[in-house]
Structure 1
Amino acid sequence: MKDSNLILFDFNTKSNISNWRVVDDVVMGGRSNGNFRLNKNGHAEFYGDVSLENSGGFSSVRYRFESIQTLNSKEIVIRLKGDGKKYQFRVKDKSNNNYSYISTFTTSGNWENITIQLSEMYPTFRGRKLNMDNFSAESIEQIAFLIGNKKQQHFKLEIDKIFFSK
């Protein structure tokens, strides 16, 4: 990692994760159950079960913060270890927007760096792509991870670090 990179979150055993919020399909009547915690190694763990009951099918964890400038950044890099499943990484330029800009990635089961080009993140609302331009804002106020692969499944995503890169 270069010194010029802006760290968004670097998890460790003393990290304050109180501003991270799990939002599951229960907000729409579903039965999925996501959790978020720090493990003994100081990594964040987003884990649980996705259920398709009652038209459910997703779990997410969101982190809202004061606006961070993205003008000098071209990509977001996430150091993580997944379970071989597909996830979405989501950003919002304004936390009160109904839509998010998303990028989908598949994990390998090993520690890896996932690199997401900000300019390739496209806008969606409730799973539908919107007829708007890709991300080009000068700042972001929220990030999120979401799993919703249209199947019932257990999931676990460990996150070490999230940072902007030039």
Structure 2
Amino acid sequence: MKLHIILTFFLFFFYSADLVIDFGKSNGKNKDWILISDNIMGGVSKSKLEYLDDSFLLTGNISLDNYGGFSSIKTKYENFDLTDYKGVKIRFKSSKQKFAFTLEESKNWTLPNFKGEFNSTKENTWEIITIYFKDFKEYQIGEPTGNKLKTSSLKNIVRLGIITTDKKEGPFTIEVDYIEFF
């Protein structure tokens, strides 16, 4: 009987725990996320991804030349079932710029994806933002469709990411400590 109670408690704790993606050299996540910028479609923005001891640092210069204007960091393709979560918390700092946390449901980049936008309110100061999945909006090739993220889509996520959304030329920076699904 005691084993049954302990096992039940363990399973409840395991399945109800928040999912945390902790960044930095010390956490061995360097190979799990990749830099993707507008260069993949002819843009000329410059970006650099660096893993620090406890975070990642994405910096660069956005250019709107050749229909460019973004830089991002994304996971490799995997299967993420986020149906047990209501949203995401991100601990980050930036230079008062706009970003979005992205969820992709397909490997085909022309199909819709979902973005939960956030921005820094303080200059280069650690902040924790909360974005609820109910507030994520659907985009197709960078343009809003007017739709929201459906709960059923959370079961089929194949890629996570963070992308610049200012669509302004100039330097940008974002440092991220962790991403936590709650």
TM-score normalised per structure 2: 0.79
Q: Gapped runs of 5+ residues in structure 2?
A: 1-15
CA contact (8 A) 2:134 2:148 kept: no
What is the CA-CA distance between 1:93 and the residue it aligns to? 3.0
What is the CA-CA distance between 1:113 and the residue it aligns to? 0.9
1:52 aligns with 2:64: yes
CA contact (8 A) 1:121 1:135 kept: no
CA contact (8 A) 2:137 2:146 kept: no
Paired-residue identity, % = 25
CA contact (8 A) 1:101 1:135 kept: no
* Aligned partner of 1:124 among 136, 139, 143: 139
- Which amino acid counterpart does residue 71 of structure 1 have in structure 2? T
* Aligned partner of 2:49 among 36, 60, 71: 36
* Aligned partner of 2:30 among 13, 17, 20: 17
CA contact (8 A) 1:123 1:135 kept: no
- Which amino acid counterpart does residue 25 of structure 1 have in structure 2? D
State the Cα deviation string for residues 61-112 of structure 1 (Å, max 9, x = none): 1113532222221011111111111111111134446221001111133111
Over aligned residue pairs, what C-alpha RMSD do you find? 1.9
State the Cα deviation string for residues 120-153 of structure 1 (Å, max 9, x = none): 1111012211254423223222111111423211
* CA 118–80 in structure 1, closer or farther in 2 if over 3 Å, else same: same
* CA 49–132 in structure 1, closer or farther in 2 if over 3 Å, else same: same
Give me the whole-angstrom Cα distance separating, in 1, the residues matched to 2:167 and 2:130: 24
Q: Gapped runs of 5+ residues in structure 1?
A: none
* Aligned partner of 2:76 among 64, 67, 73: 64
* Aligned partner of 2:96 among 84, 92, 95: 84
* CA 44–119 in structure 1, closer or farther in 2 if over 3 Å, else same: same
CA contact (8 A) 1:76 1:162 kept: yes
2:161 match: 144
SS of 2:66's partner is helix
Which structure shows the bigger proportion of residues in strand conformation?
1
State the Cα deviation string for residues 28-77 of structure 1 (Å, max 9, x = none): 221101121212x3211111110122222111111135322222210111
2:179 match: 162
1:103 match: 116
What is the CA-CA distance between 1:11 and the residue it aligns to? 1.2
Give me the whole-angstrom Cα distance separating, in 2, the residues matched to 1:71 and 1:38: 29
Which structure shows the bigger proportion of residues in helix conformation?
2
Name the larger-Rg structure: 2
TM-score normalised per structure 1: 0.86
